[in-house]
């Protein structure tokens, strides 16, 4: 027997065989999914702009209608029961089907609208994505953006994000992805440092210089440099290893050594004469940048529009900051 849910007082037939879904509403499913994604009734209520008590009543009603317990509740945490996990996955599918229908309607109506939830790393968020968001909001007046710039790897599906911006090679096969561009890098040092130590004339001469290295993320512990068709790996010794690109920039400006930096990070200092490009023919490996999202099948107009906007804006990032 197919499932039936009520949408705006009308029944929608969905292909899940159960006899209990005919009394379930979208409000109940959205509340349940948001509670799971947020990890608490309080955070879910804030995100849905409602009261915690209301969400608790809605969830209790859903559990009564289905005749199962969906969540184990304690004073410290919420956890899905076994059947709750199955219902959660089905609820995601149902809401996705409804969203797909909304997407088709929006395409007929024209402009994208609604709230776009996106996440990305803190540094690239401040360097590029924040500007993409500004331009996107100016272009689409019916869109609002809820952005989370964070160092942790966000679970896009279970935390309810529309898309994430990821740097480096992708590992998550269950997510759809679209390449936005690549982040280009160079080797930089301040003029005072080069006066004291001299500029390296080859990749091998770098080994005699104190190096300022990024320790985690897409660049791990060392550098991979291509010069004259040959690739060389430089693992150190490093004067500084740190997991923040702005800390590396500051160390380079202080004359502490040679740094590998994204061109868009170094560009302003280069324009002001505070940094100089070192070994411009030795090209650090560029880093691909992707937008990842739960499914291309349910790609809503707002997500598609943001991805297209990011792709069109991406080539301007280097030019706008004087990069190569």
pLDDT digits (tens, 9 = 90+) for 279-299: 988 878 888 999 999 876 557
Cα–Cα distances in angstroms (integers) from residue 323 to residues 113, 213, 271, in the given order: 34, 20, 10
Name the nearest CA neighbour of 116 among 105, 127, 132, 101: 132
Given the candidates 1.10.10.60, 3.40.50.720, 3.40.190.290, 3.40.225.10, the CATH classification of the domain at 185-285 is 3.40.190.290
Q: Specify the CATH class of 111-181+288-320 in words.
A: alpha beta
Q: What is the pLDDT of residue 107?
A: 58
Name the nearest CA neighbour of 51 among 62, 41, 39: 41
Cα–Cα distances in angstroms (integers) from residue 242 to residues 51, 159, 185, 251, in the given order: 43, 29, 17, 10
Pairwise pLDDT comparison (191 vs 107), residue with the higher score? 191
* Location of each CATH 1.10.10.10 domain in the chain: 3-108
Instruction: Please report which confidence band the pLDDT of residue 158 belongs to, taking 50, 70 and 90 as the band edges.
Output: confident
CB count in 10 Å sphere of residue 206: 21
pLDDT digits (tens, 9 = 90+) for 190-243: 999 999 999 998 888 888 899 999 886 544 567 888 777 777 888 777 888 888
Q: What is the pLDDT of residue 1?
A: 40
* Location of each CATH 3.40.190.290 domain in the chain: 185-285
Highest mean pLDDT among 18-22, 170-174, 303-307: 303-307
Average pLDDT on 234-260 reads 89
Average pLDDT on 20-38 reads 80
Containing 79, the helix (H) or strand (E) segment is strand 78-80
Report d(CA 301, CA 307) in Å as an integer.
10
Average pLDDT on 273-284 reads 90
Report d(CA 281, CA 278) in Å as an integer.
9
Report d(CA 172, CA 176) in Å as an integer.
9
Question: If you average pLDDT over every residue of the chain, what do you get?
Answer: 82
Average pLDDT on 297-303 reads 76
Q: Among 103-112, 115-124, 289-298, which is the least confidently predicted range?
A: 103-112
Q: What is the pLDDT of residue 173?
A: 67
Written as six digits, the tokens of 207 are 């080994």
For domain 3-108, give the fold. Answer: Arc Repressor Mutant, subunit A (1.10.10)
Is 0.85 surpassed by the pTM of this model? no
């Amino acid at each position: 027997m197919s499932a039936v849910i009520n949408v705006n007082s009308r029944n929608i037939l969905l292909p899940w065989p159960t006899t209990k879904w005919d009394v379930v509403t979208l409000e109940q499913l959205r509340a349940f999914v948001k509670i799971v994604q947020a990890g608490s009734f309080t955070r879910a209520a804030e995100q849905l702009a409602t009261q915690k008590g209301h969400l608790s009543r809605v969830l209790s009603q859903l559990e009564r209608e289905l005749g199962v317990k969906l969540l184990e509740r304690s004073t410290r945490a919420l956890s899905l029961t076994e059947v709750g996990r199955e219902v959660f996955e089905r609820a995601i599918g149902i809401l996705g089907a409804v969203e797909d229908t909304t997407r088709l309607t929006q395409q007929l109506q024209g402009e994208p609208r609604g709230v776009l939830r996106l996440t990305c790393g803190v540094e690239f968020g401040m360097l590029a994505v924040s500007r993409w968001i500004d331009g996107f909001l100016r272009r689409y007046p019916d869109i609002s953006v809820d952005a989370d710039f964070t160092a942790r790897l966000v679970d896009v599906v279970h935390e309810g994000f529309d898309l994430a911006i990821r740097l480096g090679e992708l590992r998550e096969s269950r997510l759809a992805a679209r390449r936005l561009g690549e982040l280009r890098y160079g080797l930089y040092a301040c003029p005072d440092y080069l006066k004291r130590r001299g500029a390296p004339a080859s990749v091998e001469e770098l080994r005699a210089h104190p190096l300022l290295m990024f320790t985690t993320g897409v660049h791990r512990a060392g550098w991979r440099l291509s010069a004259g068709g040959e690739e060389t790996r430089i693992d150190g010794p490093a004067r500084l290893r740190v997991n923040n690109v702005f800390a590396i920039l500051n160390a380079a400006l202080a004359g502490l050594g040679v740094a590998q930096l994204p061109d868009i990070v170094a560009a302003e200092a280069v324009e002001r004469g505070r940094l100089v490009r070192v070994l411009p023919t030795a090209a650090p490996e560029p880093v691909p940048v992707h937008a990842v999202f739960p499914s291309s099948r349910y790609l809503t107009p707002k997500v598609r529009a943001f991805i297209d906007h990011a792709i069109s804006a991406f080539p301007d990032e280097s030019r706008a900051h004087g990069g190569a």
